[in-house]
């Protein structure tokens, strides 16, 4: 569901290899040949029409097309004078833009862009003009991944880790369970040095880790936290099913549930995790939404913690006005005390969940302000396999808070710096454990 500029800038430091690689501008391809102007225009027109019709608020169509036009000038190396777009209605603006693009394509001597690349650059520019975290271009390969997820198939072929850049060096923020690098032995906090002998840094990582193929084998050179010498990990790329969450017991008595994304299966995965933790006689819970960009079924997740029918909030847009309530699916409500962890990469459904916990008083929320990507999205096909994600509604909480572009503020603010990640420290989790222990031991009855 959209983030303020500051949150967007911070999130950009995190490279989510399950998704974010595909959201970057396309690399210069090796294709050559004249552009088919009408084919490029059809893709851009599909994006323009869908933004006009479906964005939660009326877009500034002149700004969309003006910025796209400027991007076309850069891509085509053109400085021709262009007809202005202002002072016309949205349809007339498009006609002027289309003719300007035809002229630029006809005059261009650039032959290094493959078919569709120009259109994709313009769609990316229009999406960025909206300045909304959930309005973005989805290349064909990632669109296929997202379609699978919507159909209940959360499998993917990639390396499987989230990283941060610290002074151009790359460190592992999170290893995705079941992924190729997880099986190879990559750990949170590892310094990633090279892939197949090629140095990995903030400039090279996107290209080096893009487009892995099922069945390929790579050598990943890393330095584990606390080790003085590098280690080579053999990575066998394969399709794996991404879990919504994993769980374990911390400090001998705290049930810890680490979430990754709200896939279709997340209510059932929560049920399994909670049953397993109760079987281990935990007396409290920590639910970790850090790095969780959202997804679906948040109403069913919250139905495990709040009374059925509790109003979570309302999604409102130009064509949508839908109330969201907690759905228990017949499951008993969880009664253990809950602490929730969030950070600036917690978005969408994870923000709605954190906000519902906070507003209902059902949990203490610890960490940093969330992304502010609190809205509902739909995906629209552009005719060539690619798609455009559009925020079709913004979310208003049960207490009337509209946090799209703002984010959820935690009850207790605790930072985790990149340096903490590189050193293998987690002060936010430490604070959550301390918060739980203070409550548990304070409320524990005294021995006779």
- For the chain, how many structural domains are there in total? 3
The whole-number pLDDT of residue 228 equals 92
Quick check: is 4 in a domain?
no
CA distance 351 to 97: 38
The last residue of one of the domains, among 138, 163, 193, is 138
pLDDT block averages, 10 residues each, the chain of length 448: 40 35 35 71 98 95 95 89 80 94 89 90 97 92 82 88 93 94 96 97 94 95 95 97 95 96 94 97 97 94 96 92 94 95 95 95 96 90 95 93 91 94 94 92 51
Beta partners for 137? 388
Nearest CA to 352 among 276, 274, 300? Answer: 300
Residue 179's CATH number: 2.30.42.10
The whole-number pLDDT of residue 267 equals 96
The whole-number pLDDT of residue 9 equals 36
Considering the domain architecture, whether residues 224 and 351 belong to the same structural domain is answered as no
The whole-number pLDDT of residue 23 equals 34
Quick check: is 381 in a domain?
yes
Which helix (H) or strand (E) covers residue 22, if one does? none
Quick check: is 388 in a domain?
yes
Give the DSSP letter of residue 295.
B
The last residue of one of the domains, among 241, 269, 289, is 241
Q: What stretches of 158-230 adopt beta strand conformation (E)?
A: 161-166, 169-175, 191-195, 198-199, 217-223
Taking the CA atoms of 323, 326, 327 and 330 in sequence, report the sign of the dihedral they define. negative
Quick check: is 291 in a domain?
yes
The whole-number pLDDT of residue 34 equals 58
Considering the domain architecture, whether residues 438 and 291 belong to the same structural domain is answered as yes
Considering the domain architecture, whether residues 356 and 427 belong to the same structural domain is answered as yes
Nearest CA to 409 among 374, 443, 447? Answer: 374
Specify burial of residue 42 (Cβ count, 10 A radius: 0-12, 13-18, 19+): middle
The whole-number pLDDT of residue 368 equals 98
The last residue of one of the domains, among 138, 166, 181, is 138
Residue 328's CATH number: 3.90.226.10
CA distance 292 to 381: 25
Quick check: is 409 in a domain?
yes
Residues 6+ apart with CB under 8 A from 314: 321, 322, 323, 324, 395, 396
Specify burial of residue 16 (Cβ count, 10 A radius: 0-12, 13-18, 19+): buried
Considering the domain architecture, whether residues 415 and 302 belong to the same structural domain is answered as yes
Considering the domain architecture, whether residues 233 and 215 belong to the same structural domain is answered as yes
The whole-number pLDDT of residue 442 equals 67
Considering the domain architecture, whether residues 130 and 167 belong to the same structural domain is answered as no
Quick check: is 341 in a domain?
yes
Considering the domain architecture, whether residues 218 and 91 belong to the same structural domain is answered as no
Considering the domain architecture, whether residues 439 and 354 belong to the same structural domain is answered as yes
Considering the domain architecture, whether residues 282 and 412 belong to the same structural domain is answered as yes
Considering the domain architecture, whether residues 365 and 258 belong to the same structural domain is answered as yes
CA distance 89 to 93: 6
Quick check: is 20 in a domain?
no
Considering the domain architecture, whether residues 218 and 318 belong to the same structural domain is answered as no
Domain that holds residue 226: 155-241
Quick check: is 214 in a domain?
yes
Considering the domain architecture, whether residues 70 and 134 belong to the same structural domain is answered as yes
């Amino acid at each position: 569901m959209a983030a303020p500029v500051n949150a967007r800038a911070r999130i950009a430091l995190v490279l989510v290899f399950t998704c974010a690689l595909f959201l970057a501008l396309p690399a210069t391809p090796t294709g050559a040949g004249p552009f088919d102007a009408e084919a490029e225009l059809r893709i851009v027109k599909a994006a323009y029409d869908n933004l006009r019709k479906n964005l939660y608020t009326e877009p500034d169509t002149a700004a969309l097309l003006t910025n796209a036009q400027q991007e076309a000038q850069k891509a085509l190396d053109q400085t021709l004078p262009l007809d202005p777009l202002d002072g016309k209605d949205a349809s007339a603006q498009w006609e002027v833009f289309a003719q300007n693009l035809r002229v630029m394509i006809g005059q261009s001597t650039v032959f290094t862009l493959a078919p569709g690349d120009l259109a994709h650059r313009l769609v990316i520019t229009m999406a960025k003009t909206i300045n909304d975290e959930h309005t973005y271009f989805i290349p064909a390969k990632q669109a296929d991944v997202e379609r699978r997820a919507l159909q209940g198939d959360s499998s993917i072929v990639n390396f499987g880790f989230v990283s941060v850049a610290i002074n151009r060096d790359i460190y592992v923020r999170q290893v995705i369970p079941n992924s190729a690098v997880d099986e190879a032995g990559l750990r949170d906090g590892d310094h990633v040095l090279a892939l197949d002998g090629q140095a990995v840094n903030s400039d090279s990582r996107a290209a080096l880790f893009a487009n892995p193929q099922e069945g390929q084998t790579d050598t990943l050179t890393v330095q584990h936290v606390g080790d003085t010498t590098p280690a080579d990990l053999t990575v066998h790329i394969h399709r794996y099913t991404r879990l919504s969450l994993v769980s374990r017991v911390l400090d001998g008595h705290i049930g810890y549930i680490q979430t990754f994304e709200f896939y279709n299966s997340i209510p059932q995965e929560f049920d399994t995790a909670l049953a397993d933790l109760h079987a281990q006689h935990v007396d409290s819970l920590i639910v970790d939404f850090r790095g969780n960009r959202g997804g679906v079924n948040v109403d069913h997740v919250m139905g495990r913690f709040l009374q059925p029918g509790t109003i979570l909030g309302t999604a409102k847009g130009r064509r949508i006005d839908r109330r969201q309530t907690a759905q228990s699916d017949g499951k008993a409500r969880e009664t253990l005390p809950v602490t929730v962890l969030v950070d600036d990469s917690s978005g969408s459904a994870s923000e709605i969940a954190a906000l519902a916990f906070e507003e209902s008083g059902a949990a203490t929320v610890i960490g940093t302000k969330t992304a502010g990507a609190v809205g509902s999205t739909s995906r629209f096909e552009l005719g060539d396999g690619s798609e455009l994600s559009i925020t079709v509604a913004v979310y208003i909480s049960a207490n009337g808070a509209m946090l799209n572009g703002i984010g959820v503020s935690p009850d207790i603010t605790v930072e985790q710096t990149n340096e903490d990640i590189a050193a293998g420290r987690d002060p936010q989790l430490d604070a959550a454990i301390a918060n739980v222990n203070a409550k548990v031991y304070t409320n524990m009855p005294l021995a006779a």
